[in-house]
Chain A
Amino acid sequence: MNPLTIDTLKTLASLEGLTLTDQELASLLPLVAATRAMMDQMRDVLSGEIEPASHYRIL
């Protein structure tokens, strides 16, 4: 995965309609990078046949 930069974050924020200053983007960058790293940890265990469980099981 390509490393996240301020510029890519700025583009993504703009597409989402979020107006952020450069200082706010710089502050967000490590948080978004850490979140992506955490989410990447799921990749190794997710195989094709696993369906999402939106709720526990409603009885």
Chain B
Amino acid sequence: MSDLVWTSMMDLARMIRAKEVSPVEVTQAHLDRIATLDGKLRAYITVMGDAALAAAKSAEAALVSSTALAPLHGVPIGLKDLYCTKGVKTTGGSKVLVDWMPEEDATVVSRLLGAGAIVLGKLNMHEFAYGPEGLNPHYGTPWNPWDTGTHRICGGSSSGSGAAVAAGLCPGALGSDTGGSIRIPAALCGISGLKPTYGRVSRAGVLPLAWSLDHVGPMCRTAADCALMLGAMAGYDPRDPTSSVLPVPDYVAALTGVVKGLRIGVINAFFMDSSAASIRGAVEQAIKMLEGLGASVQTVALDQVKIAAGASTAIIAAEAYAYHEQWIKTRAQEYGADVRERLRVGAFVSGKDYVNGQRARAILRDEVDAALTRLDVLLCPTTPIAAAPVGANEVNINGEKHGVRPSLIRFTRPFNTTGHPAASIPCGFNEEGLPIGLHIIGRPFDEATVLRVADAYQRVTDWHTRRPPFAG
């Protein structure tokens, strides 16, 4: 097995620039690994082998002829299959769009290509991003690489992105996050993922789940790689009227490794108290580690978080139904059963419910903003549970039964509703050897501080360097 598949994007970019390794070697190593493992892993829906190798050869030629190389020159990535790719089928993980070939790239895809990235293929996902388990009845549910014996969920909806990055089938990928769909698979697959602030990254050319809650972001093995990818993706886009005109900072330069003096708020009660004991323990250890690095820690209560479920549900159900209305009325049998039912529920959400969801959103946003006037970041577990077996509907948390689906999104969806940037990074393993995620939430458009905390933690821990047993 080539070590290239375990090399970070930062190191790959540096090694390619220094001509220590060829983009063709790097791309071929990943394609070989996909060919070996993806029959079981089911991370990819479409592998773009020929196109990737052709792009890698061009990148190799450019190493000789060009002196100014883009930051991701020759570095392979994967794309969740809801990003439009010109001339390459974009299914949304559904049979409804099984043969759809977009005529142009999503803005974020154009930007990553412009930054020199090489696309290996399109990644599996929960159908139309409408589910936090990452299931897919059409293309096969991705296998969580941390358990070779039991088929466990990767978390979703970006389940293919989580599995591929964790198992070395790409060093970084695009996910998308409407209720936790970047952070949940990052936590369950033991990788790093960032949901930027709403408006930080363009949504143009991205199949929507809920326009006002959808966020585009990177999923990589390290926070530093997330910073590298975000820098290439972020910024105003006239194709997306909700994108921000704020300048894009140098996220990599912000990774100083220093958290001394930072004020960290630990979200108690709803978050810490309702997590599995092993998860709570791992997060408490991570907090102690950051305190030991010089950050000050205090607890913080977010009392209004109890209305996040109602607000998020009203908004997602109504917006998703509005987008799918014609298909769900005329092609319902082409959807998987779970997504078909979820979409139909949206038909029974009233205009009043939707507006009340948006009003509740203002209350939540103000509460999180208020906490972040006296604190730099907030911390809690990303999920209260680790990866459940595929097909399990309930889990036991500290002696009580809870639904898998509501448990997965409980801690993540409040921050889709508020729009704050939030990351998940690995912070340990439970008694079954399954990864645990640390959730880091920051001020609006302050992804730099979120990434700085994540990177500082990864400089003194090795959770993010562990390789899953599936990976060999």
| Chain A residues within 8 Å of B, Cβ to Cβ | 9, 12-13, 16-20, 24, 27-28, 31-32, 35-36, 38-43, 45-46, 50-59
Contact = CB atoms under 8 A, between A and B. Distances in A.
A53 B358 contact: yes
A38 B349 CA distance: 12
B344 A53 contact: no
14 contacts: A18-B329, A18-B344, A24-B344, A39-B357, A41-B306, A42-B314, A42-B357, A42-B360, A45-B360, A50-B363, A53-B359, A55-B199, A56-B420, A57-B444
Interface residues of B, number: 42
Interface of B: 197-199, 212, 242, 244-246, 304, 306-307, 309-311, 313-314, 317, 328-329, 341-342, 344-345, 347-349, 353, 355-363, 365, 418-420, 444-445
B242 A55 contact: yes
A56 B365 contact: yes
A43 B449 CA distance: 35
Contact of B309 (A12, A38, A46): A38
For the residues of B in contact with A, the DSSP-based class is: helix
A59 B310 contact: no
Nearest to B197: A56
B345 A46 contact: no
Nearest first, the 6 A-B pairs at minimum CB distance are: A56-B419, A52-B358, A53-B362, A56-B198, A42-B310, A38-B310
B313 to A, nearest CB: 5
A42 B242 CA distance: 26
A12 B353 CA distance: 15
Contact of B444 (A31, A35, A46, A56): A56
Nearest to A25: B344
Contacts of B344: 18, 20, 24, 28
A45 B363 contact: yes
A12 B347 contact: yes
A28 B362 contact: no
A24 B445 CA distance: 44
A5 to B, nearest CB: 13
Given A39-B353, A59-B245, 10 more contacts: A13-B347, A16-B347, A17-B329, A31-B342, A38-B310, A42-B310, A46-B356, A55-B199, A57-B444, A59-B244
